[in-house]
A and B are shown apart, each in its own frame.
Chain A
Amino acid sequence: MSGAPAVRISIESASEKQVQEVGLDGSETYLQPLSMSQNLARLAQRIDFSQGSGSEEDEPPPGAQPRDWAAPGDAEDEEGLVKFQPSLWPWDSVRNNLRGALTEMCVLYDVLSIVKDKKFMTLDPVVQDPLPPKQNPQTLQLISKKKSLAGAAQILLKGAERLSKSVAENQENKRQRDFNSELLRLRQHWKLRKVGDKILGDLSYRSAGSLFPHHGTFEVIKNTDIDLDKKIPEDYCPLDVQIPSDLEGSAYIKVSIQKQAPDIGDLGTVNLFKRPLPKSKPGAPHWQTKLEAAQNVLLCKEIFAQLSREAVQIKSQIPHIVVKNQIISQPFPGLQLSISLCHSSNDKKSQKAASEKQSPEDHLYVLEHNLHQLIREFHKQTLSSTMMPHPASAPFGHKRMRMAGPQAFDKNDISSLQPNEGLLEKIIKQAKHIFLRRRTARTIDSLASRIEDPQIQAHWSNINDVYESSVKVLITSQGYEQICKSIQLQLNIGIEQIRVVHRDGRVITLSHQEQELQDFLLSQMSQHQVHAVQQLAKVMGWHVLSFSNHVGLGPVESIGNASAITVASPSGDYAISVRNGPESGSKVMVQFPRCQCKDLPKSDVLQDSKWNHLRGPFKEVQWNKMEGRNFVYKLELLMAALTPC
């Protein structure tokens, strides 16, 4: 603190007097402040003794403590003085309370002192429930046990009931859930829509571009109301589908080629043999197989409908016949292509018919497959024709068709753009090709097996077009493959004709007739022999004197021409002449020098011995008596015999 004199600060309350009222003229009337004793009395009146005595642990608020202490002190002081004051005296209540408390304390003190002596009063714990009198304890036990058991049983029964109820509910729920999950799986594969309270599905190929008018709708059925007591079958499925009755069962398109026309009574009654239903794939649901089968039936029906429509529309030289479920066409004379729709429903009748006749099937599986492929292509075409995106101003149609205008396509280009071939025409062309290929193979094979010398080999190409395939034909002699390679033919088998390409580039076109090919091959084989002699002569050192593929002399062959060759030995003494015709066979002649001919009459003109070196007449060799396994080998032996060592 500094030495400066302390500053006195006087503090007084801001408003000493409470305002009682404010007059209209603004004058305030104050309450007279309470005097000291009045204030004390007011405070004492506020003391609540009941609060303090009711609970001993009650603590007075800290602020009130000094006053509480003061108050009893004051009360003690003034007790004697104001004893006889009327009850209005402010300390009256305080005094009454204190007196009551004192009385109670005295009583408590008396009681405690008496209890302490233990003469007249003791303190005992209080027994609340005295036990009932015990009578016949055995019976009682039995009854009570019975009772408790019954109670337990009831509880158990109730629980069991509740459990069974919940199990049933659970199963019901589960089935419901299974139906929904099955429905979900169904929706992943098939188009579904809700009509009224039914769920309808679409198994047609319309969304894939099919124009077949069949609606192809199936209905989804909830199959949950089965008897719970019976055993649930293993393949039970809560979801079932109902397909239209005309799509039930199984169907397939049968394509076959027959040689002769069948009896007219046979037409249109292709026997329907029942194929076993395709086994469902493990894991695939029951409805999937069912729907797939139905869809297959629908597709087969569409193919057949398309084919029969075309068969009626297309004008061909020999009209196509459509009878019931069969289309008959004649690709080649004497040959019949039959396409039939076999649809077997699951009823007994067709099964019986199937068991009657189980003829070996002459299916052309390739064509059946191709038919399916063609119809899918057709679908795709219709789908792509309205393909988006598409210029707003351009006409609808194929893209190339759209470009035809701006690129100024002429008539030929445009007609080549337009699909002008139907399913039937394509399939007939394919059938023709297949037939021609088979017949060619058979012709070559039969020739190869019939004729041992020369040998004929056919190398078929593995990869073919549907309308064209090729085969390479080699004609060789056994043991002389290396030197006799002159005849190599490439046969391009088309739809109606066979184009033969020679090794030297000549092209010969043969028709579908079997005989033509056979004759051609025979003539080639006969030429081969002569070619082989030519090659052999080169190897052996003989000289070719003359060679002709087509000889104009001698007997006329019915097939092709005979060919001939004449070769002379290295020394020139001998000559061999070979004539080989496809029909007449081979004829081999040997020319000897004059000197070796004994029976030759002595001529007067040829006196000089030098003329003996001239060659004499030809003598035929008895070819079938020659040794050797084939023609070329025999000739080699002959040449060797005629060549002096």
Chain B
Amino acid sequence: MGVTCVSQMPVAEGKSVQQTVEILTRKLELLGAEKQGTFCVDCETYHTAASTMGNQGQAGKLMYVMHNSEYPLSCFALFENGPCLIADANFDVLMVKLKGFFQNAKANKIESRGTRYQYCDFLVKVGTVTMGPSARGISVEVEYCPCVVANDCWNLLMEFMQSFMGNHTPGNPSVFGNKHDNIYSPGDTMAQYMELFNKIRKQQQVPVAGIR
């Protein structure tokens, strides 16, 4: 377990999502990264049920239940800017039982699938973010395995990302900033994914709203 940075890679001009992913992976393979199977991160959205809300004015909070193939036995439940719960895989069954309080927004299911690469101490996962049937973006996750203190290896991570992402290298993720003990945990990775997915959802929603 190490420090992870999740970022979005914009689709290259005049290229499809698939082609952009291929360009990226080719770059990685040229670097000498080793292919190690696939990965998958999925995220389901739950609304707080209307019956449980006390005040009318209070907006219902959204809860995200996520899975990551890197942590195959775990299940993550997150609120935006809120706490992150890590549970075992039985949590999904529990959510079915809690139907009265949390309602699953089926249409909002979003996931990222792709290939996992290992390059020395770095783990790189390039995935296609899909929502329903359509591909909506590209996620790039880079993990530096030997370190758990984010600030100590951020520069190294950035330098490595520059080597294959070029000028699309992201800035310091927000989760790094609001950590008081500096120790990175798997929940932080999932929070980054949640932010990324939310960003991608909003990007898509704007044009749809415009058409209406």
Contacts and interface: CB of A to CB of B under 8 A. Distances in A.
B90 A414 contact: no
A233 interface: no
A405 B1 contact: no
A408 B90 contact: no
Interface residues of B, number: 16
Contact of B87 (A405, A410, A411, A414): A405
Given A405-B74, A405-B75, A410 B1 contact: yes
Contact of A409 (B73, B76, B90): B73
B185 A408 contact: yes
A413 B86 CA distance: 16
Contacts of A414: 72-73
A401 B185 CA distance: 19
B88 A395 contact: yes
Contacts of B90: 393-395, 405
Given A405-B75, A408-B186, A410-B1, A394 B70 contact: no
Given A408-B185, A408-B186, A410-B186, A394 B73 contact: no
Contacts of B89: 395, 405
Interface string B187-210: 100000000000000000000000
A411 B70 contact: yes
A174 interface: no
A409 B88 contact: no
Interface in A396-428: 401-402, 404-411, 413-414
B86 A408 contact: yes
Contacts of A405: 73-75, 86-90
Contacts of B86: 405-408
B71 interface: yes
Given A393-B90, A394-B88, A395-B90, A406 B70 contact: no
Interface string A375-407: 000000000000000000111000001101111
Contacts of B185: 408
A411 B87 CA distance: 16
A223 to B, nearest CB: 57
A575 B87 CA distance: 78
B210 to A, nearest CB: 40
Contacts of B88: 394-395, 402, 404-406
B46 to A, nearest CB: 19
Contacts of A404: 73-74, 88
Interface in B53-108: 70-76, 86-90
27 contacts: A393-B90, A394-B88, A394-B90, A395-B88, A395-B90, A401-B73, A404-B73, A404-B74, A405-B75, A405-B87, A406-B74, A406-B86, A406-B87, A406-B88, A407-B86, A408-B76, A408-B86, A408-B185, A408-B186, A408-B187, A409-B71, A409-B74, A410-B70, A410-B71, A411-B70, A411-B72, A413-B1
Given A394-B88, A406-B74, 13 more contacts: A395-B90, A405-B73, A405-B74, A405-B75, A405-B86, A405-B90, A406-B88, A408-B74, A409-B74, A410-B1, A410-B186, A414-B72, A414-B73
